[in-house]
Amino acid sequence: MTDNTETPSPMTDGASQTGFASEAQAKGANTVQALRPTIDDAKAAGREALGTAKEIAGDAWKTARSYAKNASGMAGEKLGTLKTRASDLQATASRRIADEPLKAVAIGAAAGALLAALVLRRKGGPRS
């Protein structure tokens, strides 16, 4: 066995003289032509996948936005219900106080005394 010590330029010249270069060039061109439909198919598949991903993202955004609107609407309804209930309780309390003012003062004094006792006990004030 002998080592081939030719540089690329003399090797190319030798290949050109024997016809290998033109054969390799033809095979390369054929390979490129054979791969072109596969490359085009891959590009089309990529575009389709991108379109599908955009569609899915759009649907997810619409769904999330719908849920947020529903939650906001429900919170607003609950707040309205609570305001109405508080207003009703205030009206009931005002009516009962007007009907029985002495009883209301006695209940208020008792509640105040109980609250004061709890606060003093928690703070470690005078013990009985």
Per-residue pLDDT tens over the stretch 33-76:
888 888 888 999 999 999 999 999 999 999 999 999 999 999 99
CB 25 within 8 A of CB 33: no
> What is residue 30's predicted lDDT score, i.e. its pLDDT?
86
pLDDT in the model for residue 9: 60
- Asked whether 115 and 108 are in contact (CB, 8 A), the reply is no
Q: What is the pLDDT of residue 3?
A: 54
pLDDT at 23 over 90: no
Report which secondary-structure segment, H or E, holds 35: helix 20-99
Q: Are 104 and 97 in contact (CB under 8 A)?
A: yes
Nearest-10 Cα torsion for 70, 76, 80, 83: 140
Q: In this predicted model, what pLDDT tens digit does every residue of 77-103 receive, in sequence order?
A: 999 999 999 999 999 999 999 999 999
DSSP state string for 70-104: HHHHHHHHHHHHHHHHHHHHHHHHHHHHHH-HHHH
